[in-house]
Amino acid sequence: MGDYLPWATAHWQNIRRGLLEGNYCPLPVQRVEIPKPNGDVRLLGIPSVNDRVIQQAITQILQPLIELFDYLFIYLEF
């Protein structure tokens, strides 16, 4: 994560443009196999740091709106 801020600063204009124009394409997730005690494996997908930062930013913007709509529709019975 330490290298992310300089990388993101250098690439921010292209990232922003892709997000605003709707053509941002996230990188494929990295697949990791986590062993289970019974011998099976559980597949885990790890997104790139940049994709995870974008996901979190979108969540932080949308979450309050979703909670407001939940309140309006559930408690005020719209």
Could you report how far apart the first and last alpha carbons of the chain are, in Å? 44
Cβ-Cβ contacts under 8 Å for 65 (sequence gap 6 or more): none
Q: Can you give the pLDDT at residue 3?
A: 92
Mean pLDDT over the full length of the chain: 93
Asked if pLDDT for residue 77 goes beyond 80, the answer is no
* pLDDT number for residue 73: 84
Predicted TM-score (pTM) above 0.85: no
